[in-house]
A and B are shown apart, each in its own frame.
Chain A
Amino acid sequence: MKILPACLLLLAAVFLGGPISLLAQTCPSVNLVIQEPAPTAVCKGDGVSVCAEVERIPGQCKDGSSYSYDQLTWKWEVTGVDASPSNGPGSCADFVVGSAGEAVVMFSLHAVASVCDPCPQIYTISHSFTVNETALNISKSWLGIDLTDAHEVDRLTATAWATAGSVAWGLYGSAGTVFDPNPPHGAEAVVKETGRPSATFRGETVSVTAAGCSDARPFTVVKVDIQAGIAEEDEEEPGMFIGVNDNDSDESGEPDNTEAPLLSEDPDLVPVTISVWPSDLPDDEVITLSGIENCYEDRRKMTNAASSYTMECVREGLTLYLEGAAPGEYTLTAQHPQSGARDKLKYTVLKAALTPDWNHNRRIDDEDANQASTNNPFRFWINDDADDGDISDGDSDVPEQGRKANCKNDKIDGRSDLTDFFPVWLDVGQILRQMPDDTQVECYLKQADDALNAVYTDLSKGNAGDFLIVDSKSYGPSFDKDSYSAPVFRVTAGGVKLSEEFVNKIKSDPSKGVLLFEGRATTQNPLVLEVRLDGKVVTEARLPMRIDGVEKMYRWINLRPGRQRDSRPGDPANNPDAHCNDKHFIFVHGYSVSEAGARGWNAEMFKRLYQAGSRAMFTAVTWFGNEGQVTEWLPWWLGGGKTPDYYRNVVNAFESSSNLAAAVNGLPGTKYIAGHSLGNMVVSSAIKDNRLSVNTYFMLNAAVATEAYKASALDTATMRHPDWQNYSNRLWATEWYQLFDSGDGRNSLTWRDRFQNISFAYNYFSSTEDVLENSDGSVPSIGRTQAWVNQEMRKGTTLMWLAPGNCEAGWGFNSDYDVIIGYDLQTELPVYARMPPVQAKALSEATLKTNSFFRHFDNEELYAPMTGSDFLLDGHSNVRDSAIYRRLLADAIPALSNPMGRNALSGFGRANVDFMDYQRAVYPIGWPRRDNDWRHSDIKDIAYPFTFRIFDKITQDGGLQ
């Protein structure tokens, strides 16, 4: 094979120069070779370097000298594949191959000799090699971790292409991604995240290699996490539980969930933090949020959460605040849209509520819900009286009993004590039902000042007030005690755990869960209910409340002489007018009630009306109705505590009326007034004599003669003193007034029509009265029964000597009219006896005017024909303003009618109401007295569960709700 080039050279020489010159001169030549090593296979994209070398072969000049090419010019060119550059000068080709294929590098050498014959010649040499290619595509460069319960594993697909050879895969990074399957088969691989995020942006790489050629792609595994202080696996089921934010943490007067921004930071907003990994994601990456309706950037609700945040905001963790705006289930979702990384938080807004019977209508319903707020708390009184049993012991109703106070012991002290309790419904039934079965749910009650005692009940919210009106053995921890003897337990600052049995009752019937409470100390701190799930508080409810002495809940007007300054006429501290409706109820106690006793009456009447649903303002009036009361330091058998001078106190009643009118007329609201017993003398006089303006007047057991309201309503046959049975009534003190014309003040000396009809009055009477029991025609013995009749019949009689008070007129006889019925046989002195009725009947009017047949008035001036009237007027233009007139009416002029408080008076006022119709029932279930009587002071003394219907009636009649 080496002969052939020589032959060709020889032929060329012959042909070009002839045989001689051929021999004489020969051109130089070269041999070209490719420098080793030269690639035989490269990868697309590789840089390739191929060099050619020349081996010079000298020629022979004509002179026989040898020479060689000395001017060599190289060029190269790559063909077959893309190369960059694809050609160039020089004997070394340095290029990058840009495509796969069979590549040829062609070197060409232009050789010229500068001596002798230049013999220009072009030589070429080429080098072939293969350009291989391995390429990788990935379906996406992000993988997102799904922290939701769907737990969708994110994957990307890597696709490899190679011109030759089999592919080999690789994965690099800190996120722990893996091939799926692993190892992958063939030219396609799936990469999945394993829940671990990349440490850095694009920190993961997938690669492929084939025939020595590789390709790789970076990607990023992203994780978005909502951190709410619960385990990740619990974030959606059961999720987070938060309470409705319907309290008033900022003390604005409005529930926090109804306002924004708040006046102060609200600790009830629940923080959640949104974090993203890797933290070096580019600034323009965003995190989107959904379910942000009740989500804020701050605790004051100044800025609502946005629907997207850039990495700049999230990089260090973004804290937002969730509010339980309304009950229900909500989901907060955070997502990185590029990667699909997401997390969800389900939060259930729980409506845990402590709902009192706000309007005290004995049921807890929608009208009571959400009424209490920090600025308008629920208000109640301390149970600091000393009730016991079914019937009050008088002083037991007085507040501030110290160690004897009912709240100091561990039980309910009889039915009389029940008015001092209030029901609260623990509205947690739905919450308890939502709690997973395998969790331990506990309810705790707390009160910062230890100011409450509580009682377990089986009551439902719809009959939450039944403890006041129905007997039932369903109270106490075992739900087997009567309401009136059930044990109480302290609600402490540290919290008291409610019994499992009670909690289970609520769980099975959410309308259950009523506890009774009594106040045991002053407090302005709320009652708090915590619902704990596995020991952690998931929600709490607060009942803002004020507990204070009952006397802080109403006004007090003290009309007792010299004590007016003790009055409390201002807005009651613990029951301000704004807390009430626009009505004002005023109560005036009766006879023989001391100032301390009045406190008991006033407190009890307030409480009972409250429990009957009255939301009216309340004012208690104390007046001097026990003048002459014997000091209680004396034993009872020496009259200790008794008030024997009834008549003086009737005068006091009249004298108190003007001050009552002035005080009451100055009170706010539409007035509704009630008087008990002799308190009706005060009220009736205030209305008729002193322009007391009220909407409605409730006469309770009025110790006032019926004839004062209707002149014709006389019970002459029985109220007339039996000693006067046969004497013409024109001789009676009751009729003396008729001897004078209407212009004479003495014409007013009668009870008849003293007050007349009072169109806006109700006559609440008892047909089984004791004190006001009707007369049977005889003079009752001194005592309780028929006491009122007794004092009427005693007027002017010698029995008056047994008790203080003037003894004038009345049913006494004037001894001036005694007649001689004979002479003592021994002394021969005349024997006198009362003038016989027939003879007395003949006495003229003129005679009787100046010398009454009945015992004389103490003031003889009254008999003066011309000046008697002026004397009675005592300087006043209206006889009713005269102290003399008042005294005479009280102690000298007997009533000829039974008392109003025992009888219905036809046509009177708006109605007559017999207490007996309003008993709960008869003994033993419905009334504690075996004789079933409704006695004079039973409206206060008999426990409210027996009398509640009369208070319902008063409340309804007055529209006091």
Chain B
Amino acid sequence: MSFFTRASLGLICFVVFSLNSRAEPKAMFTVRVIDETGSLVTNAEVHAGFVESIKPGWGWGGGREKKWQGVTGTNGLCIVQETCQGEAGVAVGKDGYYWSSGYKLLFTNYVGTLKQRWEPWNPTVEVLLKRIGKPIPMYAKWIRDARMPADGQPIGFDLMKGDWVVPNGRGATPDFIMTLHRQVGGKTASGYQIHDTTLTITFSNDGDGIQSILVPPSRGSALRLPREAPETGYMANLVKNAFEHPERSSTGTSEDQNYFFRVRTKKDDNGNIVNALYGKIHGDFSRFDYGSLTFTYYLNPTPNDRNVEFDPTRNLFTNLSALEEVRAP
């Protein structure tokens, strides 16, 4: 079949397709809003955004959004209907609650001739609203691309100073003790540095530790993690591996990874914790495969208070740069 024939057929199909889709099909879905107890939340603001393609000739991707706004009824439901290009985002908020956002609907195909509608028709999106509890001032900082001062040596990091301990920084208390072992080889055929890198995080005190919690970022409540750090379950060390081999590689990080930690623990003679500071880490420890370190932490300075719900307007670190600030609760 010649190019001309194929092009002609393609054009005919395209025109038929176009004529059949002059108006955007309608999408419908139901937003069901519950709180942490599972109770339905009434009068919650439901914001839906229907992404539109960027105007032709100005690039590629999603541009402006068609905005839709409503509230949940007494049944905690809000039905959304709107013509769109097959994609919607949902966010829900209410006074006294953190906003929940990042909910996404993708409609796969549409049916009908004159009155077209997207399928699936009227799926339900369940949105969890978390109450605003007792946000507190905390030491919260985004440590970004902090060069590990030395390879193979334990280096203390002071969470209240936000820096390595002396002589590598201004810190005094080694809350985290980080050791980066990096063994390098040659280069791969693609020009990559072959290495095996291990980041080990240990602690200074008996009872200090860290524990994992998996929550995806950017989806759900703005309060990503539970309000309180657990009382138990802390491990005395965390080991993370990254490597670059000719056929395989790993950055050693995971998008969903988060942590709680406990530091500056003091125990009585019976082994009971009498004093400890709790905190959390949003996201994973990353960039250690490049020999540096990136992580975002929150530390509650009040002993034995496991509250880790942060008030971003009351960061105990002042004068942080835009690339150090933490704005999530």
Q: How many residues of B are in contact with the other chain, CB < 8 A? A: 75
Instruction: Give 1 or 0 for each of B186-198: 1 = CB within 8 Å of chain A CB.
Output: 0011111101000
Inter-subunit contact A906/B190 (CB<8 Å)? no
Given A907-B244, A931-B49: A756 in contact with B191 (beta carbons within 8 A): yes
Contact (Cβ within 8 A) B18 A770: no
Which of A207-215, A426-434, A888-896, A914-922 is the interface stretch?
Answer: A914-922
Give the residue of B14, B15, B218, B322 whose beta carbon is less than 8 angstroms from that of A932. Answer: B218
Q: Counting chain B CB atoms within 10 Å of each CB, which of A596, A677, A924 scores highest?
A: A924
Q: CA of A642 to CA of B89 in the docked complex: distance in angstroms?
A: 25
Binds A, one of B55-63, B169-177, B205-213, B229-237: B55-63
B132 on interface, CB distance cutoff 8 Å:
no
Say whether B266 faces chain A, with CB atoms less than 8 Å apart: no
A802 and B103: CB pair below 8 A? no
**CB contact between B59 and one of A597, A753, A785, A904 (< 8 Å): that residue:** A597
Q: What is the CB-to-nearest-CB distance from A623 to chain B, in angstroms, rounded to a whole number?
A: 13
Given A935-B61, A937-B63, A949-B323, also A801-B56 (CB < 8 A): no
Cross-chain contact B244 with A923 (CB below 8 angstroms)? no
Residues of chain A from 779 to 805 with CB closer than 8 A to chain B in the complex: 781, 783-785, 787, 800-804
Q: Which of A82-90, A389-397, A473-481 contacts B (4 or more CB under 8 A)?
A: A389-397
Which residue from A469, A639, A916 sits with its C-beta under 8 Å from B18? A639
User: Which one of B35-43, B104-112, B155-163 is at the A interface?
Assistant: B104-112
**A664 to B: closest C-beta gap in Å:** 22
Chain B residues, CB < 8 A from A937: 54, 59-63
Q: How far is the CB of B119 from chain A (nearest CB, A)?
A: 12
Q: Is A192 an interface residue (CB 8 A)?
A: no
Inter-subunit contact A771/B65 (CB<8 Å): no
**Choice from A712, A768, A911 contacting B190 with Cβ under 8 Å:** A712
- CB of A906 within 8 A of CB of B60, answer no
* Nearest CB of chain B from residue A461's CB, rounded to whole Å: 15
Main secondary structure of the interface of B (DSSP, over half): mixed
Inter-chain CA distance A595–B192, complex, in Å, is 37
Flag if A589 contacts B15 (CB, 8 Å). Answer: no
> What CA separation (Å) do A771 and B87 show in the bound complex?
13
Are the CB atoms of B62 and A770 closer together than 8 Å?
Answer: yes
Q: Is the CB of B9 within 8 A of A637?
A: no
- Measured between beta carbons, the chain A residues less than 8 angstroms from B244 are 906-907
Is chain A's binding surface mostly helix, strand, loop or mixed? loop
**CB of A881 to closest CB in B, whole Å:** 22
| A709 pairs with B190, CB closer than 8 A | yes
Q: In the complex, A629→B55 CA distance in Å?
A: 12
Chain A residues, CB < 8 A from B61: 770-771, 784, 935-938, 941
Query: Which residues in B have their C-beta under 8 angstroms from that of A784?
Result: 51, 53, 60-62, 85, 87
Q: Which of A395, A593, A923 contacts B102 (CB 8 A)?
A: A923
Q: State whether the Cβ of B226 lies closer than 8 Å to any Cβ in chain A.
A: no
Chain A proximity of B318: nearest CB distance (Å):
12
Give the number of A-B contacts (CB < 8 Å). 240
Partner of B56, one of A392, A629, A757, A935: A629
Contact A952:B327 (CB < 8 A) given known A592-B57, A906-B251, A911-B290: no
B180 at the interface (CB under 8 A from A): no
Question: Is A802's CB under 8 angstroms from B10's CB?
Answer: yes
Of residues 4 to 23 in B, which have CB atoms within 8 Å of A's CB atoms?
6-7, 9-10, 13-15, 17-19, 21-22
- For chain A residues 876-920, which have a beta carbon within 8 Å of chain B? 904, 906-908, 910-912, 916-917, 919-920
Chain A: residues with Cβ within 8 Å of the partner, total of 92
Q: Contact at B6–A807, with CB atoms within 8 Å?
A: yes
CA distance A345 to B107 in the complex (A): 81
B198 to chain A, nearest CB (A): 15
Distance in Å: Cβ of B230 to nearest Cβ of chain A: 25
**Do A930 and B218 have beta carbons less than 8 Å apart?**
no
User: In this assembly, does B303 line the interface, its C-beta being within 8 Å of a C-beta of chain A?
Assistant: no
Q: Which residues of chain B are within 8 angstroms of A767 by Cβ–Cβ distance?
A: 255
Contact with B along A292-319 (1 / 0, CB 8 A): 0000000000000000000000000000
Chain A residues lying within 8 Å of B81, measured Cβ to Cβ, are none
Q: Verify A801–B327 contact, CB threshold 8 A.
A: no
User: Could you tell me if B47 and A930 are in contact, using CB atoms closer than 8 angstroms?
Assistant: yes
Find out whether the CB atom of A916 lies under 8 angstroms from the CB atom of B217: yes
B250 within 8 A of A: yes
Q: Are A931 and B192 in contact, with the CB atoms below 8 A?
A: no
User: How far is the CB of B294 from the nearest CB of chain A, in Å?
Assistant: 8
Q: Which of A697-745 contact B (CB under 8 A)?
A: 703, 709-713
B242 contacts partner chain A, Cβ-Cβ < 8 Å? yes
Tell me if B300 counts as interface (CB < 8 A to partner A).
no
B79 beta carbon closer than 8 Å to chain A = no
Contacts A391-B63, A637-B22, A906-B244 given: A759-B191 contact, CB under 8 Å?
Answer: yes
Asked, given contacts A637-B21, A784-B53, A930-B90, whether A924 binds B47 with beta carbons under 8 Å apart, the answer is yes
**Max chain A Cβ within 10 angstroms of own Cβ: one of B14, B106, B195:** B14
**Residue B26 CB within 8 A of the other chain:** no
A940 and B59 contacting across the interface, CB-CB below 8 Å: yes
Does B25 count as interface, using CB distance less than 8 angstroms?
no
* Smallest beta-carbon distance A842→chain B, Å: 27
Q: Determine whether A643 belongs to the interface, using a CB cutoff of 8 Å to chain B.
A: yes
- Would you call B219 an interface residue if the criterion is a C-beta within 8 Å of the partner chain's C-beta atoms? yes
Known: A590-B59, A926-B327, A932-B102. A394 touches B54 (CB 8 A): yes
Not counting A933-B218, A935-B61, a sample of 18 additional A-B residue pairs whose C-beta atoms are within 8 angstroms of each other reads: A594-B58, A596-B57, A641-B55, A641-B57, A709-B190, A781-B109, A802-B17, A803-B10, A907-B195, A907-B249, A911-B287, A912-B251, A924-B93, A929-B51, A931-B49, A933-B62, A936-B59, A941-B64
Q: Which residues of A contact B (CB under 8 A)?
A: 389, 391-395, 397, 469, 589-594, 596-597, 600-601, 626, 629-630, 632, 636-643, 676-677, 703, 709-713, 753, 756-757, 759, 767-768, 770-771, 781, 783-785, 787, 800-804, 807, 904, 906-908, 910-912, 916-917, 919-933, 935-938, 940-941, 948-949, 952-953, 956
14 A-B pairs within 8 Å (CB atoms) are namely: A590-B59, A591-B59, A597-B59, A632-B57, A643-B57, A771-B62, A784-B51, A784-B60, A784-B61, A907-B289, A923-B102, A925-B327, A932-B219, A933-B102
